[in-house]
Amino acid sequence: MTRGIAGGVIALMLAAPFNVAARETAANAHVEAAFTPGDDVAGMITQRIAKARKSVQMQAYLLTDRTIATALIAARRRGLEVEVIGDAAQFEAGGLPWLAALHRAGARTYLNTSNAASHNKIVILDAAMPGATVITGSYNFTQAAQSKNAENVVIISRSPAVTGRFVENFETQRSLSRPWP
Phi, psi of 155 (to 5 degrees): -115, 120
Identify whether the C-beta of residue 143 lies closer than 8 Å to the C-beta of residue 113: no
Question: Among the options 30, 54, 103, 119, which is catalytic?
Answer: 119
Indicate if 119 belongs to the active site: yes
Phi, psi of 73 (to 5 degrees): -65, -45
Residue 155's H or E segment, with its range, is: strand 151-157
Query: Measured between alpha carbons, how far is 56 from 125 in angstroms, rounded to an integer?
Result: 5
Question: Among the options 39, 65, 87, 121, which is catalytic?
Answer: 121
Judge residue 82's burial from the number of C-beta atoms within 10 Å of its C-beta, 0-12 exposed, 13-18 middle, 19 or more buried. buried
Identify whether the C-beta of residue 60 lies closer than 8 Å to the C-beta of residue 123: no
Closest alpha carbon to 72 in 33, 134, 36, 123: 123
Return the ∠ at Cα 116 (arms to 111 and 119), rounded to 5°.
Answer: 65
Question: Among the options 39, 65, 87, 126, which is catalytic?
Answer: 126
Indicate if 126 belongs to the active site: yes
Indicate if 39 belongs to the active site: no
Active site residues: 119, 121, 126
